[in-house]
Amino acid sequence: MLKKSIAVCCLLFTSFVTYAQNSVKVTIEYKEGIPASILVSGVVDKNEWLGVSLYPATVTDATKEGHHITREIKKGNFIEAFAIDNKLASQYGSSYEIALWSKKIEKKDCTIQDCYWCQQRGYHLEDAAFYQTGYFNTIKNVK
């Protein structure tokens, strides 16, 4: 019975944070104790960029070893869902970072020498308006 109670408690993890003019809600949904999706919603007062990063338990370099996703968020209300399939969950299902960034700097405008992100993606993000990090609450073999 205890395992079932723990599983029910961990099926949905929600946090709500307000930074400046932005309010952001993060919900992590689980299926059978494994992270299945991240839902980020809220209101922004200008166009911003949302970044979600997933990491393995053995991460030593968060920049190079993570799975990173970035989406532009338009001014106003937003809801963004990030599915975590079984492959992502098995490779990167240990911890996460979620950030809302105010500025996107194109590689041609970057002043950071040897900027990793600009070299890899052609841009980097600056001025975090929201940040959350944590570990997934994985429960295996719950019946």
Cα separations in angstroms, 131 against 6, 31, 32: 27, 25, 27
The pLDDT value given to residue 1:
42
Question: Is residue 89 one of the residues assigned to a domain?
Answer: yes
Q: Smallest Cα–Cα separation from 71: which of 91, 38, 101?
A: 101
Structural domain boundaries, residue 60: 2-135
Question: Is residue 23 one of the residues assigned to a domain?
Answer: yes
Inter-residue contact 140 to 33 (CB < 8 Å): yes
The pLDDT value given to residue 17:
43
CATH number of the CATH domain containing 59:
2.60.40
Amino acid identity at 74:
K
List pLDDT tens digits, range 28-44.
999 888 899 999 999 99
Q: How far apart are CA 69 and CA 89, in angstroms?
A: 15
Q: What is the pLDDT along the chain (143 residues), one digit of tens a residue?
A: 444 333 333 333 344 344 444 589 999 999 888 899 999 999 999 999 999 999 998 889 988 889 999 999 999 999 999 999 888 888 888 899 999 999 999 999 999 999 999 999 999 999 999 999 999 875 554 43
Question: Is residue 55 one of the residues assigned to a domain?
Answer: yes
Question: Is residue 143 one of the residues assigned to a domain?
Answer: no
Question: Is residue 120 one of the residues assigned to a domain?
Answer: yes
Question: Is residue 49 one of the residues assigned to a domain?
Answer: yes
Question: Is residue 142 one of the residues assigned to a domain?
Answer: no
The pLDDT value given to residue 137:
74
Question: Is residue 140 one of the residues assigned to a domain?
Answer: no
Number of domains in the chain: 1
